[in-house]
Each structure stands twice: as structure tokens, then as C-alpha cells.
Homo-oligomer: A and B are copies of this chain.
Amino acid sequence: MPDLGALLSPQSVAVVGASPDTSIIRGRTLKVMLHHRYPGRIYPVSRSHSEVQGLKAYPSIAELPERVDLAVLTIPAATVPDELERCGKAGVKAAMIVASGFAEDKAEAGAAMQKRIAELAQRYDMAVCGPNAEGFMSAEARLCPTFSPAVETLDVPLLPERTGAGRVAVVSQSGGIGFSFFDRGRPREIPFSHVVTTGNEAALECFDVVDYLLDEGSAEIFILFLETIRNAGTFRRAAAKALQAGKPIIVAKIGRSEAGRRAAASHTAALAGEHDVYSAMFRHYAIIEGHDLEEMVDIAACFSAYRERLPAGRRVGIVTASGGAGGWIADASVAAGLEVPELDAETRGRIDVHIPSYGTSQNPVDCTAQAVRQLGYSKLASFVAASPRVDSVIVVVSARSAEVYERERANLDWVGRETQKPIVMWSYTLPGAAPAKILSAAGFPLIASMNNCARAIAAMAEYRALREQHSRAKESEAAPAPIRIDVARPVLCEYEAAPLLAQCGIAMPPSQLAKSAEEAVAAAKRLGGRVALKVQSPDIPHKNHAGAVALNVEGAESISRAYEAVLAGARKHRPDADIRGVLVQKMAPAGIEMIVGAKRDPVFGAMLMVGFGGIQAEVLRDTALAPAPVSIGDARELIGRLRARELLAGADIEALAATMASLSALALSEAVAEVDLNPVIVHPLGNGVSVVDALIVKRQDGRNH
């Protein structure tokens, strides 16, 4: 890995293509750097000027007076690869490329040039960011090689002066969006350590930057904007490191609406789309998914203030002088997954002496404008925070003018310092800059949107819970032994899948493959009781749809008839099907039908899925997904995430969880592309599960284990 310190905290920078014309990118980038008073050395490189914006310019990178750490290339796409090579030869350690017209271009030349950038970065071990990016902002280094208007016209220092809050790093594949987080957060006094836009990621990827910043240490919270993740290893390493360090990541991953669910042989692959896989991976590392710019800034603001005092649970106390506003945010809190419990008698007693008879201390605590005038918001908030019934506090304020906050400033500072529970301010009026500054200095996030406020508190509680869950580690669990698959065909039907499942410890009901009606009758007799007859053909993965299944059959005559009917159904459905016989299987008792499956994601590898079975799976898509391996504890947690989980009350959830954990071994096998256990019938507690159908789709690239 090249040295990202040379990129983000260089001692010296060359601006290749620098121009005196500040209306064009080549001039603006230098102007922005000078505007923010980068304290290191800047060398304009220009063929046509000996001086640019007051600095001595040099005709080429090779002719600089020193070997610079960073070259900022503000030149057109076509000239970038050669220039980058010159940089490499000159010993430059890092480069920032802003030009567009590479892999995102319809012309083929763009992709080729991008490939060359990647090769040069590797050859010269350069930290190359871009192309098609908007540059970056590195606050401590006071370095802004970017043409972003959010930084260009900034008339305050990059970092707010008075704040003890944790710093936020933004790493974004989109330049515009990356800087817009800063644009929205900086006026609210949120400290940003970095904004790095990675563009097309010819060399450096988003999670390379995150990984570096985790070690570098200045950022405590990360906001990421992703169009894709190119490398699962880089992602996993950085995500695990962030989780370990307790540095939350808030991510927006776009492409939900496109995430086409490809036509797939297995239900699992059809149900678990690309976005579901991303969500499962994010959840696995306690990464918080954001859904709007301001929302993500609000969540970051709350983490920034309370990173070391995260709420221990989801119970929130609400302090308000407006009954209507208090009731509304109570609704929003419940909708966000929080609870608004009644306060304890002791806390209520402490509050009641201060509020008039038309207020209430229940929760929301409607303390009336009168009590706010007398005591101030912070004092009232501290009363509520002291209640053992709440884990965090929302204070409903009107932050349009600073007057009231100036009056209680000492108390605000004190409460902000001393509180062990997050206290977050929601302003129902449009927040002004002055109140935001006072509240920020006292350590309180001030949020303009009610829903974002509730969501941010829920995200903090969720992050803490997921992190604690992770630390009760499972890393020590032995990896399951890989399963070898000796069947040559790409699709294994039930009778072929059963022995492999048995190797993982997943039993199916007794069965026998019959090649004739007579064999079917004999098999049924041996099995006893009612049986199911199911055609076995790799060409008919969905036997039910094909009418190639008969259930609950009993008696020689019925079985013979069913055998013929099942075969006829299969042949009608697909005349050229390779039919291996008819599986005669002992009927399982009734229960709740679930689907358990696995699929191999091209980026993240084996994923395990559980969901409600049958037609419900297709209509309601009530499924949950996690990366394999999945422990029994993970499996239990996964089942608990299903919307209709209450349907499983009284059922043998433990046996279902064990089946899911067992399927891990098979899911992890390199040879497996998709597995369906569908349905898995879950019986009442203590009676286990019956896996009554199975399908395995092998990977097409010939790997066998």
C-alpha cells in the first residue's frame, strides 16, 4: 500500500497545469489552496507561465527544486497518463487527478487511460486518487486541492474553533455529494477532519482511504458515499478495524432502485438482490445506512457529540414547552424504533415542583414556556436525563434566536460536560447560526428535522447494541470443514443434494429414488405411512410449478398412479428434461414453512438467507441475510429480524437456527453458487425441523470445493 500520508498530509505540493485564470479549474484549484493558507510548499507547474497567482512556476515536474510529496493534476484527461508517469519518475509519492473522461466515458480510450493510471500507480508505488474526482480537503493540514465551491467560498476556518466534538471524515466516490456533506455540516459547527473524493478509483478505493484514516487517528466518525464496492477484502479490513476502534461509519450506497434481481435458478438468489447483500454486509460490521444528506450529517453530529456516551437502550425522554411539538416527536421516536416510557415517580416529583398545573411531567414532559423561562432547557433536560427510565433525552427547542441560550450558557456548558446520556436538541423553528454556535460549544447537537433527530438517537443505540453483540465474539469458532462436491452437473437436485447436506449435519426425511412405479410402491412400503413423490431432474428446479410433485399419497394403487402423474407432469413441463427418477419420501408432519438458502455474491462471497416460505416469500419478501459463516447465535438474530417472526412463536426456532448454521459449511464451499432448502418445515418446540426439498446450483467456473 502506498503512502496516503503523502496524499493527505504532504509537506510539498505541485499543481500541474496551474493557471492564473481563476475562472477555470486549473486556476481555481490553486486559488482554493492559497485561500486556505496551506502552510507547506506549493509549486505551480506551467508550460506557459513563469509565475502563477504570485508563486514562481516551473516548466515541468522534473524541474522542481525538491521532490514533492503530492502532485495535483488539473490537466485534461488525455495528458494525464504521461504526466503521471513523469511524476512517478520524479519520485512524487502521491497524485490527485480531477479530470473526467476515463472509464465513465463512452469512448473506449477513457477506459484504457484509466487502466494505465492504475498500472503507473502500482509501478511507482504512488497513492493515486481519482480520476473524475473533485479533489479533497484535509483540515489539519489546511490543504484543499479542490475546485469545490463549498471550500472555495468558505469564509470561516476549515475547522470550527471551539469544539470538543469528534471529527468527521467524509470519503465519497462522488465529488459533488462528498463536499455537500461538508457544505451542510460546517455552518453547524461540525468539525470535519477530511473530505476525500475518490471518483473512478483507478487505484485508491474508498476503503483504502478509510483504512488509512483509521490509523492516522484524527477522524472519529466516517460518512461514506458509495456507488459500488470494488474489493471485498479492503472493505472487510477497514470495516472490522473501524468497529474494533468504535469509530462509526455512516454510509449511503446508491443503486437500490437498479439492483435488478436477476433471473435465478434458486429462490434464494432471486430473493437476495444486490442491495440486500450490501445491507447485510453493512449490518454485519455495524455500519449505519443513511438515506439523505442532512440525515447523515445529523447522525454524524450526534455521534460526534456522544461517541463515548452512546445510549444504553432505546428509551427516550422528551422535554418540551410545546405540547404539540412534543407529541409529534414522540410519534416520530416510536416510528424510528425508540420507546417513550412514562417517567418514574421520583423524577416526576422533581419536575412537578417547577411546572404550572397545565404542564405535565409524564413523557413527553410538557414543562411549558414558563418553566423554560425560569429554569432553562439544560436544567430541565438534566432532570429528565437523571431518570433511570430513559437512555437519552430529546429537548424540543425554538432555536431561531440566541437570547435564551445566552442566558443559560453556563448551565448548558455544565450539563453538556456532565451528562452521561445523550441530550439532543430538536428545533421546530428554523435554527439560527448563533444558537447553533452556543449549543455546539456546549456539546449539544442541534437538529432541524424531527425525524432525523429520532433516527440519529436510534442509530446511536443500534450501533452500541450491534457493537456489544460483536464483542461477544464468535471469531474463535472453528471454520466448518469444506464440503467436496463430486457431482459433475451444474444443478444438483434433491436426491443428490441430500448426502452433501447430511455431511453438514442436515438430515432430510427418509427417501428412496424410484425408477419405476413398482420401485416407488416398494419404497413407500419400506418407508411406511403417507409419502411424497417428486420428480428428480436437474432441468426442473421448481418441481411444484411443473406439477411434478404428489403429496400425502398412500396405498399401492395411489402410489402407482401418482408415479405416472408426476412423470407426466414433468414431461409436459419440459419434454427434453433429463429425468433421474422419482424420489419417494416419507411425508413430514405439518408446521411453519420457511426457506433457508445460500448464495455466493460476486463481491462478498457466501451469504446465508432465511425467510418465510411458499408464496409468501415471493410476495412479501420477508427475508433476512448475513454473510457466512453464521453461528447459531447469528442465526437466531437473523430469524429475529423477520417482520413476521411472531408467526414462529412456539415453534422450534433453535432447530431452525442450527440448520442455518450447518448450511454454512456448504455455503462456504467454493463450488457452490446457490442453495435452497425450501421448504424447511419448522415443528413445535422440541420437535425440530423437516427439510423437505433441496437444490444446489454449482459455480460455473469449474471449482470443485
Question: A residues within 8 Å of B by Cβ?
Answer: 100-102, 104-107, 110, 132, 149-150, 153, 172-177, 179-180, 183-184, 187, 225, 227, 252, 254-258, 291-294, 321-325, 327-328, 330-335, 340, 356-358, 360, 368, 398, 400-401, 428-430, 448-451, 615-616, 618-620, 643-644, 646-647
Contact = CB atoms under 8 A, between A and B. Distances in A.
A323 B174 contact: yes
Nearest to A99: B358
Contacts of A105: 357-358
Contact of A292 (B100, B101, B176, B332): B332
A658 to B, nearest CB: 24
A293 B450 contact: yes
A294 B450 CA distance: 9
A451 B295 CA distance: 10
Contact of A174 (B177, B291, B325, B398): B325
Contact of A322 (B176, B256, B356): B176
Given A150-B400, A620-B644, A646-B619, A428 B256 contact: no
Contacts of A360: 106
Contacts of A321: 176
A252 B328 contact: yes
A321 B616 CA distance: 41
A616 B614 CA distance: 14
A398 B149 contact: yes
A183 B150 contact: no
B257 A330 contact: yes
Given A172-B324, A324-B172, A180 B428 contact: yes
A430 B323 CA distance: 30
Contacts of A324: 172-177, 225, 227, 254
A125 to B, nearest CB: 29
Contacts of A448: 294
**Copies of this polypeptide in the complex:** 2
A356 B335 CA distance: 45
Contacts of A450: 292-293
A329 to B, nearest CB: 9
Contacts of A184: 429-430
Contact of A429 (B149, B323, B335): B149
Contacts of A333: 257
Given A225-B328, A255-B331, A620-B620, 19 more contacts: A104-B358, A105-B357, A107-B357, A110-B358, A149-B401, A153-B401, A176-B325, A177-B328, A180-B325, A180-B428, A180-B430, A227-B323, A254-B324, A256-B335, A257-B331, A257-B334, A292-B332, A619-B646, A619-B647
Contacts of A332: 291-292
Nearest to A619: B646
6 interchain residue pairs of minimum CB distance: A174-B324, A176-B322, A257-B334, A105-B358, A254-B327, A256-B331
A105 to B, nearest CB: 4
15 contacts: A101-B358, A106-B358, A106-B360, A149-B398, A149-B429, A176-B398, A180-B430, A254-B324, A256-B331, A256-B334, A292-B449, A294-B448, A294-B449, A449-B449, A619-B646
Contacts of A101: 356-358
A334 B256 CA distance: 9
Given A100-B368, A357-B107, A616-B647, A292 B323 contact: no
A175 B369 CA distance: 12
A572 to B, nearest CB: 20
Contacts of A428: 176-177, 180, 293
B325 A177 contact: yes
Nearest to A77: B358
B257 A340 contact: yes
Contacts of A149: 398, 400-401, 429
A331 B254 contact: yes
Contacts of A110: 357-358
B104 A254 contact: no
A276 to B, nearest CB: 14
A400 B183 contact: yes
A532 to B, nearest CB: 19
Contacts of A292: 332, 449-451
A169 to B, nearest CB: 17
A258 B620 CA distance: 27
Contacts of A102: 358
A449 B180 CA distance: 12
Contacts of A328: 177, 225, 252, 254
A429 B327 CA distance: 31
Max count, chain B CB within 10 A of own CB: residue among A101, A252, A256, A340: A256
A150 B358 contact: no
Contacts of A401: 149, 153
A66 B335 CA distance: 53
Contacts of A646: 618-619
Contacts of A619: 644, 646-647
A619 B106 CA distance: 50
A615 B644 CA distance: 10
A320 to B, nearest CB: 9
Contacts of A255: 327, 331
A227 B644 contact: no
